[in-house]
Amino acid sequence: MRAHQAWLDKAPDGHRADFSGLTLNEAKFANENLSGALLIGTTLLDADMIGVNLEDANLDQADLQRANLSGANLAGTSLHSTRLAGAWMTNVNLCEAKSQYASFKRATLKGARCSGFSAHECSFREALLNEASFHQAKIYDVDFQDADMSGIHLYHARLQHSKLAGVNLIMANCTNAKLDHCSFAKGTLTHVKFNRAEITQCIFWDTDLRNCDFREARLRGGDFTRAVLEGARFGRAQMHTCDFRGANLKGAKEMTSEQLMHSLTDARTILPNGKNGPYMKGSGAERG
């Protein structure tokens, strides 16, 4: 009998399978249907769970470190204090899943579908999230430091008080996103779409923001000290007390005198026309 078969046979017909607290390391559950199962505190280190259906399951406090969950369905699952560090989760479905105090550290979530995903005080530190979709996700106090998030979709997502220092966010789509008190310090954010985003009191110290699109965005506060914004677009953006001291705005497009007058610049600022600041009204330095 396969290692998982006795585990599956324990579930009475018509009832949610309850396998809480079991140790099933290196077990093979590829493509099994475990929809609605209870795996509270279950240990599944290095398990083969490719394509498994865990829709609406409860994985609270489960340990799935280094498990292979490629193509798995975790839609609507509960992931409270779940350990998924180092897990392989390419193309996983986490739509409407709820995660609190969970660890996805160094996990691989390339192409993951996470629409409506909710994360609170979780860690995605050094995770691979390339091309993942977090449409309308709600993310609060989450650690994404040094993660690879290139090409990620954060359309209409809400990120609050989260740490994104050192992230690779190249070609990400943050259209209509709400970014509130997040830190992107020393990150690589080239060619990111921030169209119509609401960006409140975020930190962009020493961040590479070349060719980003801030058209129609609302920037309230925010520290862009020493950030590089060459070629960035600011058409119809609303900017209030943004700190561009020491920033490089050379070649920035569609900036207006009003936008710069409502921002902080100094002698170290490189203005859109390539000259050093501070910006003076009527100087024409807003034209790249």
Q: What is the pLDDT of residues 163-212, one digit of tens each?
A: 999 999 999 999 999 999 999 999 999 999 999 999 999 999 999 999 99
Which CA distances in Å does 115 have to 44, 74, 134? Answer: 26, 12, 5
Q: How many angstroms from the chain centroid is the CA of residue 87? A: 17
Contact 5, 24 (CB under 8 A): no
Tokens (6 digits) for 118: 């909710």
pLDDT band at 3 (very low <50, low <70, confident <90, very high): very low
- Report which of 287, 247, 282 is spatially closest to residue 263, judged by C-alpha positions: 247
Which CA distances in Å does 21 have to 40, 43, 44? Answer: 6, 7, 10
Could you read off the pLDDT of 153-169 as tens digits, one per residue? 999 999 999 999 999 99
pTM over cut 0.85: yes
